[in-house]
Amino acid sequence: MKSFEKHIKQLEKVADLAFKNGIETSGIDFSGGKQPDELSKEQMQAFIVACHDGFKKAQDIIIQEIMEYQSEIEELKREIKIHRVERNQEKAKEKISLLNKIDLRISTFSHIADGIAWQLFKGKLHIARRFYLGETSKKKLVFSNIAHAKTVADEINRSPEDFALISDITNYVQIGDLIAFQNGKLNIFELKEGKVNKKIYDFLNKMEKDGKEIFPNNLPENFDENTIKQTLRVIRQKERMLRLKDLLKNDKGIDPVSGENMEIVSPQTPTHDFVEELEQLYCQMNCDCKTWAYNIIEDCVHIGIYRGESIQMSQFLIPEILKSS
């Protein structure tokens, strides 16, 4: 595992690409506090292109980092298994500690990808929520269709104005394989490859063309148990994505998570981003010469800010404070 210093340096590089590239490379003077909605049409276009360029470069690094760390996790799991067989609990605990640190590092990179998604959703919480299904398991990129997803994303990303985000590198985008900003609009893509998926989609397309409903008992006889499970999984994914697209387009429809009818009432006030509170915590941390600072807002929102070695305790600190309160 790379050193903590190298990890932080890479993390800062990715964060700067994702969140500062538009300001630093667009050629627009933001020094006077100019906001994006004050830009001319030509300036806005240049700003979007610069932002997307940063997103693309950040995504490439995030994919590489996550895949490297996930490979290390698989090796650590093998070693932990051996230590447990040998009843070497000390060694097992040591490797479990390393595993937890790697999980946190992956989460920090995925959190940057979450920030990119947040910008694609234009900071609208009521839209971002629709993409989260509450699934806690994390996908291993090496076992997913990451190569195919990257190929399709790279093709979309050839256009300077467009950008496609690969959902699997985020923490919370759980509908669609790609979230793409194309021609000024948000699009969702579900990608499938391989012979089995081709057979499934050929069958589904024929059933749709014939106007027939699909049930577990009318699937083809040559579908084995695994193919049947995959078919039902594909049907669920397609249904969720269609419901989400309909909901986002019309502001009403069927919730892809609960399956209940719902209507989205677009908030009339901007989503609170807690920027001022974070700035206050940052100043407090610097003034007190600490490596972390913590606050509770309105007795319900817990916010922590960390730097240096304290970053490694960030995932445990607030839960521990809550337990003791």
CA dihedral 173, 297, 316, 16 (to 10 degrees): 50
CA distance 109 to 114: 9
The answer, yes or no, to whether residue 210 has pLDDT greater than 90, is no
List of residues 6+ apart from 270 with CB closer than 8 A: 123
Place of tokens 């605990």: 93
**Rounded alpha-carbon distances, angstroms, from residue 161 to 26, 63, 157:** 13, 22, 8
The answer, yes or no, to whether residue 124 has pLDDT greater than 80, is yes
CA distance 35 to 196: 50
pLDDT of residue 96: 93
Hey, what amino acid is at 139? K
List of residues 6+ apart from 157 with CB closer than 8 A: 52, 56, 163, 164
Share of the chain above pLDDT 90, in %: 41
Nearest one of 126, 17, 132, 119 to 65, comparing CA atoms: 17
Query: Mean pLDDT over residues 141-157, rounded?
Result: 89
Question: Which of the pair, 321 or 7, is modelled with greater confidence?
Answer: 7
Asked if residue 165 lies in contact with residue 113, where contact means CB atoms within 8 angstroms, the answer is: yes
Structure tokens at 218: 């009318």
The SS3 call for residue 186 is strand
Which residues on adjacent β-strands are paired with residue 195?
none
The answer, yes or no, to whether residue 76 has pLDDT greater than 90, is yes
Residues 1-44: tens digit of each pLDDT: 888 889 999 999 999 999 999 999 999 888 777 777 788 999 99
The pTM for the full model equals 0.82
The answer, yes or no, to whether residue 233 has pLDDT greater than 80, is no
Hey, what amino acid is at 70? Q
List of residues 6+ apart from 256 with CB closer than 8 A: 130, 133, 175, 239, 240, 241, 243, 244, 247
In the chain, what are the domain boundaries?
Answer: 4-189, 199-263, 275-324
- 268 pLDDT band, cuts 50/70/90, is low
User: What are residue 270's phi and psi, to 5 degrees?
Assistant: -60, 150
